[in-house]
Structure formats: structure tokens, C-alpha cells
A and B are shown apart, each in its own frame.
Chain A
């Protein structure tokens, strides 16, 4: 262990039998299993760990926990690099690599520390007051410079190679924190039979018991801890989750947690995530998160070697590492004395004890004597010396004289703040406790209680008592019979007298309130002087509390400085509240597996495999993957393929999957009445066995969706919707039925996924179908005319539905079979159509043919168009009420010059059209006032051999034959087009009825 000069030879909870190699800034070190990176660095005598944000001041380890503002490192390398990682919570593993950040060229010699020289000008808010002249320089010079200086660590940038998961858990009682209060609570609740989850952010349960030399029931606390953990492990409904941080409290007892499954390993084990994001649903929760110690603001309080006293004790007692050889203790209360005692008993020297309270009692005097420490009662540390490593402090004695004491560790103790963060996540505010000199939880979120130090009940006895009591209460609240209250274990005596010192004034040099953001007491004063006195102004103006530690060590001191300056008390000045998360959470953990191809689910049509075998290129259509086109060997661009598919349909027969259309089964004696109310057109007269085009509006009068709806029986309809709106329409119909007209006898169910459906289109469609439809069914033109619908059988008794409807304008059918037969249907149709050269076609060809026929689709159903805009005004019934009727009649919706639906063709047939082009009158200026509408859809017609477009233009059909510019400056397009009928092919519809 010669390589770890500050490692104690015995004691602590590290495993000296397991040595772990690690590196910091490229230099190799050794630590032990059970170390954190911080404890291992300290054991190796590494004090300078980081640089501050603004002045690049040298910084060391301040704390031993999640509140650490200074010791931030880049952990790991390459794509696994994690910036701003608190060395105090990194569990050491073999091969760990860490590097300091925000320094250049090196940590010891950082050129940007020159910022410190100009620091008199870099006060809070300085940038708001300058860089304004000359105006052009801000954009070109100043701002880029500021941005380059931004941030502390470097993110990996590359794709995160690890994966993450999400998990959900439900419990009666959630216990947050595995210290004495939390363990006692979990035990009491667990003994009552409650389903308990106990989470602790640490990798080892025990909380402060791991860091203190305490006794419970006359024995070392470690024995109570071991017995308690053993009993908890024996309770089947108690789940212990170490390395798990409850980061947020959300509505109705939902807790966000992140479990660091693999962060203590070089790499996650196979098939294990790096981290797991949890939602924990708890009937009751007990916050037993302990407390965070507070620093003191004095000149040079940021030097490496200045450490919170409780943290110093943690390093000695838990990690067997001496944070300094020569210690000065600066304390405002009793608690700091334990640090002096523990350091001395571990073999460290205590040079001086500075207790800011004027009188030291006999016991303390005796202890100081015993430790050989000079005692400065009523004194204060007012400065430090040593740049990259503390080498001494200046003490102002009670008499006013000053003394210098050499030391390499200054332990600072100023009382503790309850870790009450979660209590304010629902907007409840903490309240100030004059006796305890800290904020304690005020009103609490529903279902949450607070135990031990987190409630300001700082003694071990209180922690154990609170835990046992609240654990039973929580179990009772969750509906269980609480186990009998046993005696609360006895603890050794302790005192916690405190007279906090917020700031030591007087000395020159910077005194930091917020370490990481380099906010000094002078900055806070300046902000108050300039009127930024509300605490939120103070934070925003100075950036106090906005660093990665979120003010855990700084917020209260900031309030105290303002209070002092304005002559008010701390509670008059403001309150410290906390937003989630309690500590920063990796974005990956909250995203889980939702990334890459798994970002959103992928829906596949029942005919997908068949399409893939046919060589389909697929396209995202909402969540669906649909066959876009089916290229054949030798077809080098999509247009060649699509042209072939279109011509094949128009000359022979093609098939296309349309399974993704929404299908809603509507039954009941009022089904027709229901459709009357949701569609703009009439339905009562539709005969059984017939289909009809339907258009529905939103209540605000704009078009919602369209589709074909068929009457399968007197009281039975089948509605189809567009693919995109299937869910929305279903929800809308349920609304209409359940909320508006529950008195109607109608039932709805979505059957979109129950049926596979194919379109069979082209002059040979009927002949093809004859090969699959069972011969009992007559599908001749006479027996099964346009818009006929029938329930039939195919392939020898398989139930099916046949619809004679057409989107392409050809003789066409849609055939639906139960989804499981979808694949077989496509193959059977291919066989049946083979003699006619049947051709699979995709959404592109479908789109071309619908433009050729002038049908509206998604681009026209933009939510901004009315039925009249789309040329469907005549479909609107005037004889009945329906959704959207009244609002569709508002003046602006019936204005004459609303852009309405027509077709467009290029005057020069060689020119390509583009959707999104705007229409401008020829010779008119290209300004907004001359904008007449825009092109909604375009396609190349292999039939007409030129591009054609659909669009909305003022005046609409009345302007057929007129020419306008299709102006598309974002694609450098500006061509002349002729307004024409939107029906480009077979305007008489002869093919349809063939």
C-alpha cells in the first residue's frame, strides 16, 4: 500500500484484499473495492481534482456525497465518456479512467485561470452590461467567444454504446434512503406485511452509520445494521434497491427512480442495461434521505484541502483514507468535534480547532487538550493559503488578533440541511426552523412522510424512533395491520448544539458561495444592490445554485448573505425550493430502449412478409411500414417502377395492400342515425349491401376524415377511415356515442387489425377475383355492380368481405379476409392474376392514380380545409344536424375567395411540379398579398406523360383554363401552370363501371 500514502492500515469498509487499478489524468493509481473515486484519490494524496467554471480556480474534494460541487471529472473514455461526474459518488472499479475537465493545457497549469486576473470585471451579470458595441461585434466576436468558454466537461458526442431499460414497480411503502431512519422504517413496515421498496443512492446500505462511530443498544452500530439488513432480506415482500436514486416525486404517488445497474463495472454485463429508469407507484412513501452538511463562506474557502467536516469523517471511518495529515477544524457546532476526534483516533494530527461559538465547555476544552489541538473559541477562519493545495489558514481569534496555522486539511462544519428536496417537488414549501437553523419540510405532498435528519431530527435516536413510528403508520395507511411497536433501540449520547456562521467577513480574496459557478459573496451583494433581491432573481442573475449540484451546498448561504445585507431574516428573504431531479439523471435512463429503430413501435400489415418477398421498398406511414413500390431488376429509379405499376393497373390488373385503413364496426338499431350525425351526408337510405363515400367534419366545421362506409345489415355498418386518422376517428366516434348521444342504441368496435384487405384494380380485376372467390358467389357486373358490398367466402369457405370500390378509377375491388389469412390471400390473388400479368403496386402508384382521378387525400385533408374547399360542398346535407354543421357556416368558412380544389398541369409538359409551391398571378410581385394558394399534391402521370398537380387556389373551379405561376423559391422553382379539372384520367368514370 506504499502507493496509497494516505491510506490507513486498518479500519473502514474497504476490502484491502482487493486492489483496483485506476487512472486519473493518465497517471496510474490503486484503490480498493469499496472505494469511491474520491476516496481513492484522497488515499493516493491527490488533492487537486478540478477547475471551476468561470475563474478556473483549482478545486479539490469538498464532500463525500451527491452534493459535490468541485470534484467533477470526465469518467471513462471514447463513446462512454461521461462529463461532470462527481468523483464522490463514483464507485471504484478496476480499470477506471478519469480525467479532469475545464482546463488547458493541464489541470496543474491552466491558462484560463488568467480569467482570475480580470475577475474584477467578470462579476455577476457583467455580460448583460457590455458587448453591445459595436452591434455587429456581438454576433461575430463576443458571442462565439463566450460560447467557446461554456460548460465544464465534454460529452462523448458519439452514440452511446450501452443500452437502457424502463421498469415499473408497485408497492405499499416506498422508503427513500437506507440510513438508520430508512432501515427502521422499512423494518417496521416490512414486519407489518407491507410490500416495501427501499432505495438508496449509495452502493452500500447504512447511510451515516457507515461514516460514524456510533453505538446502538450498547454495541457498535455496524452490528445493528447487519442484523437489520439480514432481517429485511428475510422478509419476502421487502425489496432493497441499492445504487438507486429516487430523483423526483410526481402526481399521485409516482416516484421517478434511476437504478445504476452497471456503472460500477467497466462495462455492463451481456444483456444488462447500464441504467434502468423506474416508475415506482407507492401508496405511501417515507423520505429518509438524511441531511447535507453546509460550508462556510470565507476568503479562500475553495482551496483544495477545504472539506466538509462530515465528509472528512466519512473518508476516515468508511474509506480508511486520511484526507490530510495536519487538520484544522472550523466548526460552528458540536458536530464538527466528532471529526477532530475521529481523525485523531485514526492517527491524524489536529493542529487547531476553531469553534466560532464564544464559549467552549469543559468537555470540549478537555478533548482539544487530549488531541493536542490549539482551541480558538469564538474564532473564525478568515483565509487560506496554498494555491493548488491548502498549506495553512489564517484564524481571527475572539480577541481580534490573527494567527496562522499550517495545515493541509481544513474541516468545516456549519450544521446540516435536511435533504428535503422531494418534499418540494409538488410545490410545497419548506419552512424555517429557528431552533435548528435550517429549513425543514413544511406541508407535505399527499402520501409522503419524512423521518430522521430529512425532517430536521438530526440525532440517531430520533432517526430510529421516526423510522419505526412512520414505518408502522405507513403500513396502516396502506391498509395493513401494523406490527406491534417494539422498543426503539437505545443509542449512545450525542449533542447537536449549533450557532451557524454564514460568512466570515473582512479578509481580502474571493469567498465562494457557489463553488462550481464561482459565485462569491460579492456577487450576491452586487445582485442585491442592483435590486435582484427576490431569491429567484438572485439565482438567475448570479447563477447561484444553477450548477450541477443545484445549490445543495450554496442556496442557503446565498440567502443568508442577502438577508445580512438587507437587514432581514433568512425566511423573510426567501425559501430554498427544489425542482426535480434530486440529482442529474442520464437522458438514456429516461428514454429506455426508445432509440434507433426502436424509437417508436413499428406496425406491419398482415401482408408484410409477402410484400417483402416481392421486393418492396417500404415507407413510414405514421407507425406503419407500407410497401411504397416494388422495383424490378434493372429499374434504376423509383419513377420507372411506379410508372410501370400504374400502367399495369390501368391496362391489366394490380394488387395493393390497404390493410392499414381504419375499420370500425358499427352495430345497433340506431347505427344509421348515428352515421347521419357524424357524417355530412345521408345514410338512412343506403341499402344493405351497398357502400357510400362519407365525409366527416370536426365540430369546428373543418374536414376531419373521409372514407367508404358499407351497410352490411339493417343495423350493421362497416366504416373505413384513412390510415393516419384511424385512432382519432375511433376516439371521436366513442365521444359522440358516449358523451353526446348515449341514448342511441349503437355499439362500436375497431376492427382495423382483424382484417387484412387488398385492393384489386384494373380491367382484369374481376377475372382475377374469380380465381379466389368461391363459385357460389356471383360477382358479375350485374350481380355485383359498382359500390356493391357482400359477405362472401373465398378459397373454399374462408369468410371474406368484398367491396366494389375504387380509388384508382379502374374497375376495382377491395377484398378483406381475417388478418391471419392476409398472406394467403395475396398469394392466392397473385396466382389467380398470373394469366393477366398481375402486378403488385405500392403507395406511390396508389398516389399517382388518385391524383389522376382527383381524389382528395391526406395532403388535402390538412385540418385547414372545408368540405366546400375540397369541392364537396354539395355532399353536405341541409336536412339534418351533424357534427360541424353550424360552424361550417361561419362567414370566413364560406367566403367566396377561399382557396378551393382544382387540378394543375404544367404549360410546358416537360416541367416538373412540386407540392408546396404557392400560386402567384402572372406578372404579380412575389409578396404575401399576392399569394393565391398552394399545390397540395403532385404526381407524374405515365398515362398523360406529364406532371399533374392538385391544389387549392382562390376562385377555384371558376378559373379553369387560367394560367398562374407555381412559385417555389425554396427549391428554385417558378413555372407557369394551367388550372384544370382535378380529374385527369377518365373523367366520365367509364372504367369504374366496366
Chain B
């Protein structure tokens, strides 16, 4: 696979480390519940189809990226910095 890093350009996926689903949001703060945290840490949609997922460009710019990739074909629809996504979500 190749991932087009927004900072570094198209690179072999070997330069990146995969983490998993990008959508679960950590329940931050002292008010967070254990149940919500169990959901965040353990439960996954694991779809067969488009999947928003986190990759880390460890052999490049060290950016965490949100990659939208189809798990049936591995085709990649988009790549964006995770940092930008969070900022966008807050706005």
C-alpha cells in the first residue's frame, strides 16, 4: 500500500504504523464513566467498507493521520492530519 502523507507525499505504507479506528473519542476528564471508557478502549465497528483509521508516520514526519480506506479493497479515499480533524470537530 501507499499512503499520501499530507506533509511528505506518497510513501510506502511500511513507513507508517497502524493504530486502529479513528472515530472513537476518548472520554476525557474526571467525569468520564467507566462504561464509556470500556466502549472507547474495546469496542469497534470494524466495518467491511470505508474505514476511518489512524496511522502514524513514524519513519517520516511523525504525524498522526486519519486515513479513510476501504477494508474490502484497501483503496484510500482521503488522508488528513489527525490534529486538523480534532480542530475541525471542535469548530
Contacts and interface: CB of A to CB of B under 8 A. Distances in A.
Interface of A: 250-254, 279, 281, 426, 446, 699-700, 727, 731, 734-735, 738-743, 880-881, 886-887, 889-890
Contact of A281 (B2, B33, B40, B56): B2
A251 B58 contact: no
Given A252-B74, A731-B56, A880-B30, A887 B41 contact: yes
B41 A735 contact: no
Given A734-B64, A740-B26, A254 B32 contact: no
B19 A735 contact: yes
A886 B74 contact: no
Interface string B37-71: 11011000000000000101010001110000000
Given A251-B1, A731-B17, A738-B63, 8 more contacts: A254-B1, A426-B73, A700-B41, A734-B62, A742-B86, A886-B34, A887-B34, A887-B37
B28 to A, nearest CB: 6
Given A727-B58, A735-B19, A739-B54, A252 B76 contact: yes
A743 B86 CA distance: 9
B75 interface: yes
Given A887-B37, A889-B34, A254 B2 contact: yes
A866 to B, nearest CB: 15
Contacts of B82: 738-739, 742
Nearest to A281: B2
Contacts of B17: 731
Chain B CB count within 10 A is highest, among A250, A254, A881, for A881
A446 B2 CA distance: 13
Nearest to A279: B12
A373 B51 CA distance: 66
B58 A731 contact: yes
Chain B CB count within 10 A is highest, among A279, A727, A742, for A742
Contacts of A253: 2
23 contacts: A251-B1, A251-B2, A253-B2, A254-B2, A254-B12, A279-B12, A281-B2, A699-B37, A734-B56, A735-B64, A738-B81, A738-B83, A739-B54, A739-B64, A739-B82, A741-B28, A742-B82, A743-B90, A881-B29, A886-B37, A887-B34, A889-B34, A890-B34
A699 B41 contact: yes
A886 B37 CA distance: 7
A96 to B, nearest CB: 38
A740 B73 CA distance: 29
Contacts of B63: 738
A174 to B, nearest CB: 14
Contacts of A699: 26, 37, 40-41
A894 B58 CA distance: 35
A-B residue pairs, 8 tightest by C-beta: A886-B37, A252-B2, A738-B64, A251-B1, A742-B83, A251-B74, A739-B82, A738-B83
Interface residues of B, number: 33
Contact of B28 (A252, A426, A742, A881): A881
A740 B26 CA distance: 7
A700 B26 CA distance: 12
Contacts of B58: 727, 731
B28 A740 contact: yes
B75 A446 contact: yes
Nearest to A735: B64
A592 to B, nearest CB: 14
Chain B CB count within 10 A is highest, among A250, A738, A741, A742, for A738
Contacts of B28: 740-741, 881
Contacts of A740: 26, 28
Given A735-B64, A742-B83, A742-B87, A886 B2 contact: no
A746 to B, nearest CB: 12
Chain B CB count within 10 A is highest, among A251, A252, A734, A739, for A739
A662 to B, nearest CB: 14
Given A735-B56, A742-B83, A742-B86, A252 B37 contact: no
A252 B11 CA distance: 11
B72 to A, nearest CB: 9
Contacts of A735: 19, 54, 56, 64
B19 to A, nearest CB: 7
Chain B CB count within 10 A is highest, among A251, A727, A743, for A251
Nearest to A728: B17
B52 to A, nearest CB: 12
A254 B11 CA distance: 11
Chain B CB count within 10 A is highest, among A252, A426, A699, A735, for A252
A539 B33 CA distance: 54
A144 to B, nearest CB: 42
Chain A CB count within 10 A is highest, among B37, B81, B83, for B37
Contacts of A890: 34
A883 to B, nearest CB: 9
Contacts of B81: 738
A988 to B, nearest CB: 37
A887 B26 CA distance: 12
Interface string B75-91: 11000011100110010
A699 B42 CA distance: 10
Interface string B1-22: 1100000000010000101000
Contacts of B76: 252
A244 B90 CA distance: 53
Contacts of A886: 27, 32-34, 37
Nearest to B74: A251
Contacts of B2: 251-254, 281
Contacts of B73: 426
Contacts of A250: 1
Contacts of A739: 54, 64, 82-83, 86
A278 to B, nearest CB: 13
Contacts of A889: 34
Nearest to B1: A251
Contacts of B54: 735, 739
A426 B74 CA distance: 10
Contacts of B32: 881, 886
A51 to B, nearest CB: 43
A97 B66 CA distance: 56
B50 to A, nearest CB: 16
A926 to B, nearest CB: 35
A803 B34 CA distance: 39
A463 B67 CA distance: 40
A426 B19 CA distance: 24
B16 to A, nearest CB: 11
A199 to B, nearest CB: 20
A552 B27 CA distance: 56
A889 B28 CA distance: 16
Nearest to A878: B30
A631 to B, nearest CB: 38
A740 B62 CA distance: 15
Contacts of A741: 28
Nearest to A699: B41
Nearest to B28: A881
A734 B57 CA distance: 10
A735 B32 CA distance: 20
B64 to A, nearest CB: 4
Given A731-B58, A739-B86, A252 B1 contact: yes
A740 B90 CA distance: 12
A727 B56 CA distance: 12
A99 B73 CA distance: 45
Nearest to B40: A699
A731 B75 CA distance: 25
A751 to B, nearest CB: 13
A219 to B, nearest CB: 44
A678 to B, nearest CB: 12
Contacts of B29: 881
Contacts of A446: 75
A660 to B, nearest CB: 18
Nearest to B76: A252
A730 to B, nearest CB: 8
